[in-house]
Structures are given as C-alpha cells and as structure tokens.
Amino acid sequence: MNYDVDWAKEHLNEHSIKPSTIRIKILQYLMDNRIHPTVEEIYKKLVYEIPTLSKTSVYNTLELFLENGIVQLVNTNEKESRYDIDTSFHGHFKCEKCGKVYDFNITAEELGEDNLKDFCIKDRKIYYEGICKYCLENR
C-alpha cells in the first residue's frame, strides 16, 4: 500500500489529529518502517528531510499518536521506549544480540484469560527476550 500524504492526512483526521508536516512524515515513516523505532531512530532518519525537526517534536508527536490510538508503546527495558504502528493484540520478542524487536501473534485463549473472567483486563503486554533465529543461525 502507498502511504502518501493524502492517506496520512486522512488517517490523522480520522484519529482527531490535525495534520502537520512533522506528523505526516512521522506517520509515513512508521508505516514504511515497521521496526519498532525509538524517538532517536525516528529523529535521525527524518532530520535531513525536515531540518527544523527536534527530538522533542518527535517525542510530542508520538505521545499524541499514543493518546489517539495510532501507535502503542513497547518498553523493552527501563531506558528504552519503542513505538509500534501495529496496535492489534500481539506479542514482542527482542533479540539480545542484534537488538531487533519482532512481532508474533498470540490469542487470548493461548494466554489462559478464561482464568481471569471475573477481572477487568485493561491492557496486555506480552514481551520476551532472547536470541532470534537469525542470530542463532549466524553464530
């Protein structure tokens, strides 16, 4: 799919966010690069396209996206926050060697949530760490 400017504007409007150049570029970057980037990574990739870009503006934009359901936060450790454009229910695996974060599918049934039927679940975070198959193959 082509995530052009018109698509980005419409998507932002659907989420009650006023489109701006920075917001459009960050949204397009997230859609085209589903790598669970950090604020720093997004800033480094876009600063050449938008010379006035600051890390603060990237952070503020991602917080706005988070509040309006466009992204979800993936905390991989105490010091690192990553942003995932895929807001569907799924798990994450972070490789200790290469640092990549991978998505994997999981269902509520697989989690045994029927044991929590008398509880109100507001959020789920499924997160694993280890060594990915690519790093294991290249030992």
Q: What is the domain-level CATH number for residue 124?
A: 3.30.1490.190
User: What are the residues whose beta carbons fall under 8 Å from the beta carbon of 131, sequence distance 6 or more?
Assistant: 95, 96, 97
pLDDT score of 66:
97
Domain match, 72 and 109 both = no
Question: Distance (Å, rounded) from C-alpha 64 to C-alpha 101?
Answer: 23
Domain match, 73 and 107 both = no
pLDDT score of 123:
81
pLDDT score of 4:
92
- Residue 16 in any domain: the answer is yes
pLDDT score of 77:
74
DSSP letter string over 73-98?
EEEEETTEEEEES--SS-EEEEETTT
pTM of the entire predicted model:
0.89
Range of the structural domain that residue 48 is part of: 5-80
Question: Mean pLDDT of residues grouped by 10 in the chain (139 residues)?
Answer: 90 97 97 95 97 97 97 85 94 93 89 85 88 93
Domain match, 100 and 69 both = no
Domain match, 113 and 69 both = no
CATH number at residue 68: 1.10.10.10
Domain match, 98 and 130 both = yes
